[in-house]
Structure 1
Amino acid sequence: STNAVAYGSNLAHFGRGTGPIYFQNLECTGSEPNLFSCPHNVLGYQNCHHHEDAGVHCG
């Protein structure tokens, strides 16, 4: 099993990303097999910016 740690409360924990933003308001519980399974806003529709990027460490 893979463990992951999310850094959502520390925005842009690993630095700001670049390019398109595909997900907004991800609400993962930790039981999902991938990010596409997490509840989120409609793909491609976003009103956020890269200073709000979330960070995840998979281990």
Structure 2
Amino acid sequence: MNNEEIYRTTVEKVFDDQCQSLEKTITYLSNHKMTAAFRQARRNLDDRTKNDILRDVSYPF
């Protein structure tokens, strides 16, 4: 899996676990220890890509 896939998969899982609340998802990702692969993906992706993924996850249609 590449960085974008790792980031997207983790965000989708957390988003579902947090009752599809974007605010709770972002808070969770910031405050909880995440996997090394996710942390590396977060470091390697630019802000635009991360924002695109968050938007796609929160607006799936």
**TM tier, smaller:** under 0.3
Point out the structure with the larger helix share.
2
TM-score (norm 1): 0.28
Mark the structure with the bigger radius of gyration: 1
TM-score (norm 2): 0.27
Point out the structure with the larger strand share.
1
